[in-house]
Chain A
Amino acid sequence: MELIWDGVRRAVGLLIGLDREVLAITWLSLQVAATSTGLALIVGIPLGTLIALARFPARALVISLVNTGMGLPPVVVGLFVSIFLWRSGPLGFLELLYTPTAIVIAQLVIAAPIVTGLTLAAVQQIPPQFRLQMEAIGASRAQLLWLLVREARLPMLAAVMAGFGGVVSEIGASMMVGGNIRGQTRVLTTATVMETGKGNFDVAIALSLILLAVTFLVNYLLTVLQQRRRPS
């Protein structure tokens, strides 16, 4: 227990003292997770809406694939993204391995199915009558899509939170494709593992607490946004 209090004190000390390295690590974690979540939204929302509305052969198969993808193990993603980004791999010429961009790519692969799956569920729960009514009023196809996405915005914000939560907390992929390089690709999760390996348990606890605080803050902001304009 004493150890946890040491960690709490250390965390407060690091934050109040504005330890530059810890701030940089925290900022990078946030930046990378926000970017990958943002890209996952760009991919996932249209894809999820499309799968929800369209009728095509093997639709059940596609939906099961998306649902399976929602639970992709980050280490598996990390391994495959590494192999693709290796110098000897198909995308080696981009020289992206061990850069923040590599982490964004891996996290995008993790978050996109989560956003797609939850969007799919969100759009599907809109009663079919809504669609019929809007078509009856004479909404164009584009207007209809926009209205559907608007109607589903509450559960979609949940998708944003789930995607962000999934990537900001993952460790396997960030470690493998980022390499935990000091000042370049060290994020909160990989730094926590490393400090534990070094036996600096108080610093490791401090970093975990910072990660929890950051995740809480982001979710709090998103929740405020979600609850502010309830559909009447």
Chain B
Amino acid sequence: MRRTLYVLAALVATTLGAGSSPATAQSKAVILSTTTSTQDSGLLDVLVPLFEKTTGYTVKTVSVGTGQALALAARGEADVALVHAPALEKQYVADGKMLNRRLVMYNDFVIIGPAEDPAKIKGQAKAADALRRIAETQSRFVSRGDKSGTHALELALWKQAGVEPKGSWYLESGQGMGQTLGIANERAAYTLTDRATFLAFQQRVKLPILVEKDRALLNVYSVMEVNPANGPRVNSAGGKAFADFMVSADTQAAIKAFGVDKYGQPLFVPIAGKTEEEIGG
């Protein structure tokens, strides 16, 4: 009994020691608020160590939905944001919460669904037309429903289609892309997914791609620095260093090469320095 207590006391001491030492190194820590897709695709596991090695900063990656990522940044709880919801991002920039929005990369979204395709959307050129047919035939559709970038795009597409999605055919999972794909698969439903996550789940999700390559389905990621006015402890130098890193030539080359060995195709297309008009977004 007494020996157990000694062991516990030693553990208490080491953990508290480990936790309190970064206080001095804190200015060297950058908090990155980003989306689940950048983490779940494995891209950050490649880029973050590269950034840490070249700059000496340590990165604390908080990967949540785009809505939450921007909300945290606006409170000054992060130093830099890497997200994918252009309309929402522009709103935050206009409000002065986020600074210096720069495009980093894109991939694209696809609409997948059961092979029998009850709403007959296969090959539709416009994603909005496909969604309208899904609503008209009341075919089951799983929405992320979590204010993520994917959810934001889905809502914009419903608006374009002139449909307010509601009813027993419209399921809101409130979870990440992976879980949502799983639900769509089990319930033989349509859903909107980014291609990177879809490729990662190809073995478990048997739903084919039905609609792709519409311009409206482009998934554009940007990096933004957090306005230091948002909170008392924003590390703006660190945030800027990370943003600069994301658009640098070396990083852009790493993004282009990412995923080729595993999926036979790149998961993201680097676009630093371009404008939205140039990429057709």
> Which of B8-16, B101-109, B137-145, B161-169 lies on the face that meets chain A?
B8-16
How many of A's residues come within 8 Å of B, CB to CB?
Answer: 36
> Which of A7-15, A64-72, A93-101 lies on the face that meets chain B?
A93-101
Partner of A92, one of B58, B177, B179, B232: B232
Find the B residue at minimum CB distance from A153.
B1
| Interfacial chain B residues near A128, Cβ < 8 Å | none
Given the known A-B contacts A38-B9, A88-B75, are A31 and B14 also in contact in the complex, defined by CB atoms under 8 Å? yes
Are the C-beta atoms of B60 and A179 separated by less than 8 Å?
yes
Given the known A-B contacts A34-B8, A104-B19, are A182 and B233 also in contact in the complex, defined by CB atoms under 8 Å? no
Name the residue in B15, B18, B204, B233 with the highest tally of chain A Cβ atoms < 10 Å from its Cβ.
B15
Asked if A197 is an interface residue, CB under 8 A from chain B, the answer is yes
Nearest chain B CB to A211 CB, angstrom units: 18
Partner of B200, one of A34, A41, A199: A199
Interface of B is mostly: helix
What per-residue 1/0 map shows which CB atoms of B131-172 lie under 8 Å from chain A? 000000000000000000000000000000000000000000
Are the C-beta atoms of B60 and A98 separated by less than 8 Å?
yes
- For this complex, 5 residue pairs linking A to B, each with C-beta atoms less than 8 Å apart, are A35-B11, A87-B77, A100-B19, A181-B61, A201-B204
The 8 closest A-B pairs by CB, nearest first: A101-B19, A38-B8, A35-B15, A197-B178, A87-B233, A199-B201, A98-B60, A34-B11
Give the interface of B toward A (CB within 8 A): 1, 4, 7-9, 11-12, 14-16, 18-20, 22-23, 26, 31, 36, 39-40, 42, 45, 48, 58, 60-63, 75-77, 176-179, 181, 197, 200-201, 203-204, 231-234
